[in-house]
Amino acid sequence: MPLRLLLVRHGLSSFNTERRIQGRDDLSCLTDEGHSQARLTGAALADLHLDAVYSSPLSRAAATAAQLLEAQGGGLSAEFDDDLLEVDLAPWSGLLGSEVKARFPEAYRLWREAPDQLELERSDGSRFRPIPELMDQARRWLDRLEREHLDQADQSGKDLTTVLVVAHSAILRCLVLQLLGLPASRFQGLRLENASLSVFNLQRQAGGGVQVQIESLNVTAHLGNGLPPKGAGARLLLVRHGETDWNRQGRFQGQIDIPLNVNGLAQARSAADFLSDVPIQRAFTSSMARPRQTAEAILTAHPGVLLSSQEGLVEIGHGQWEGRLEQEISQAWGELLQQWKDAPHTVQMPEGENLQQVWDRSLACWSGLADGLEADETALVVAHDAVNKTILCALLGLTPADIWMVKQGNGGVSVIDWPPPDSAGRALPVVTCLNLTTHLGGVIDRTAAGAL
């Protein structure tokens, strides 16, 4: 049975406010705003049943967990776990970020550009690499999670087990990387705000492995903030179109041009309200009706922004599967359908496309759009389930084989930021948020775990 893992970063701390390095030392505490953020997060989760809660023992995380759980009202207390401690940056702890940059310029550069290569010295003179150590720590914790909760859920027959974790930015990012099977070099490609909520769905596979799905990443709408603030580089808002009748019926749409239904139009309007205060300078859509209708609804709050159609963003061509229900496809192409579920990157759709073809054209289109943006611009991009999944997989460092790892709800919003180039002229895009659906009702997508 599925396990739902909720990851929450602690609320705003005194060191966050002062821009000091926190690390593993317990020198920082929650601010008044941090306490408020913790309570707001708990209130957003009030209708969920939590089976277990774990927290870092550091005071800023422990206080967040206590405030959150009181507001959540489920009667649980957090179990403290040293494997949820923050990254060890002892030589820098308590220093301002600007002081570290001035006193240790090369080490600071590595921390910003290649943190997995950073090496520091402990008080006893021994050398260590903080991020590789933290990746090992994250793996240990996830191994215990699987043994103590995922496997026990399978044995108990429960429909769903929900586990909440309250910890810190770096350890949570390492947990995400380990869940997705990504290397430590991708550490700076993720962003987690104070009191943000990220949701993952896990399920044991027949062969013994664990199937992982990102339901959402870095959600902050429950704090009243909308989207996290934009940085110095360009931003793209990647949106999936609203619902169609064929989505609701479970038909494979592909490149048949099905319009939005009544609910899909309402989802598009909700996305428009959610993004109404976000400055948007450019807008792009797949040339098909359902994303165009979604984009047009969003742009009602942004008059004067021209909408450009992009053939590279059209949905995957399902060929002979288009217009058919899964049951119909199973009867005629049973083995191929199962292959699509188990190894989607190996499937050539009958008279349609394969994922590599979609990957190549959608990423070529996406890269062209991103390269054409100025640093101060934000662009809206509205496309489809498979197209969005290929783009997000590529940005995260995943492959076409991994598209089931990424959830894309109808009307969901993802945010990608491009920071300024580093000292080598590289700019690693940051997946700031993924599949935000709070504007459609509730912090948690109730259908996600069942869809695994």
Check 241, 318, 384, 439 and give the catalytic one: 241
Task: Return d(Cα 406, Cα 214) in angstroms, integer.
Answer: 5
Concatenate the DSSP letters of all residues of 88-157 into one string.
Answer: --GGGTT-BHHHHHHHSHHHHHHHHH-GGG--EE-TTS-EE-HHHHHHHHHHHHHHHHIIIIIHHHHHHT
Cα dist from 13 to 5, 40, 197, whole Å: 24, 16, 17
Cβ distance 158 to 115 under 8 Å?
A: no
Which residue's entry shows tokens 């009602």? 300
Q: Which residues pair with 6 in a beta bridge?
A: 164, 199
441: phi then psi, degrees, rounded to nearest 5: 115, 105
Buried b (16+ CB within 10 A) or exposed e, 376-387: ebbbbbbbbbbb
Catalytic site includes residue 318:
no
Task: Return d(Cα 186, Cα 393) in angstroms, integer.
Answer: 13
Check 215, 315, 322, 353 and give the catalytic one: 315
Cβ distance 179 to 200 under 8 Å?
A: yes
224: phi then psi, degrees, rounded to nearest 5: 85, 10
**Which residues have a catalytic role annotated?**
241, 315
